[in-house]
Homo-oligomer: A and B are copies of this chain.
Amino acid sequence: MTVTQSAPAVRTQPGPTDNQAVLIVHGKDRTGIVAAISAVLGKHDANIVSLDQYSDNPHGGAFFQRTVFALDHLKARLPQVELDLQAKLAEGFELEYTLRDLSVPKRVAIFASKDDHCLLDLLWRHRRGELPINVSMVISNHPDTANEVRFFGVPFFHVPSAGPDKSAAEAQHLQLLRGNVDFIVLARYMQILSGDFIGRVGVPIINIHHSFLPSFIGAGPYAKAKQRGVKLVGATAHYVTEDLDEGPIIEQDVIRVSHADTVADLQRRGADVERAVLSRAVRWHSEDRVIRHENHTIVFAG
């Protein structure tokens, strides 16, 4: 008899998010937005669980609101809430919204290369119940982490990506991803995505860069940090845009280093920051706590 080795299943959390939905509204600020939204929710006897609001200028600036509300029999009643919301927002507000059932986790594909610290940290945290996501697959240009990923019960796809022409690899990526994921995480994926791929894949992509941006853009940031003699090294999670390392920053953190740290020491210390920063960014994105606005993010951290 063969006993299949496997890690424990994801621990189910007795759903604090059952019957809860999240509503994101953003657009042009004007008087009465909060009142309008809460009137719609009040009409349905929805109870507001949390409400975060931000306006970059109360006089006609950009307005952002995140509202989590609880509603019995949510799944049955959400369509009517949405219709009422649409009707209310049509009354002269210049706002966009997204409305989402929080009990349905977002589906994610994680891209990785040889280095596994960010990848494994996400898989561990997910198994511990810390991340409200569904890991649909891991895609790597190296086979090294296959066993570890599958040990977590997650599909692993090896898509080699040698040479300057990434079009074949990216075509394979698109085939695997299309319809299957809500966002992508680059967990120290050491390949640059083409603008064409970013446009066609059509879902947000979160990258972890191993420096405190905008310091040390591009390759080899720890070597550059050693060269400059900085006293802290950091990491940055950001949305991927066509401009390398220039996308909207979601989260950053740093750790103290000294003259005695070698580049390898910086990498070791930095790795801890990278995985912590990336996991926060993934959690916040999964819970719709991050709103993109121009090249910035509004983060209602929890």
Chain A interfacial positions (CB closer than 8 Å to B): 2, 5-8, 29-36, 38-39, 41-42, 45-55, 58, 70, 117, 120, 124, 128, 130, 144, 147-148, 150-151, 212-216, 228-232, 234, 248-254, 258-260, 268, 271-272, 276, 295-299, 301-302
Contacts and interface: CB of A to CB of B under 8 A. Distances in A.
A258 B51 CA distance: 16
A276 B248 CA distance: 28
Contacts of A231: 249-252, 299
Contacts of A58: 47, 49, 70
Nearest to A124: B120
A41 B46 CA distance: 20
Contact of A212 (B7, B29, B33, B212): B212
A260 B259 CA distance: 20
Given A7-B147, A128-B271, A232-B234, 7 more contacts: A31-B42, A32-B42, A34-B34, A38-B39, A50-B54, A117-B128, A258-B301
Question: Which 3 A/B pairs are nearest by Cβ-Cβ distance?
Answer: A35-B42, A35-B38, A229-B296
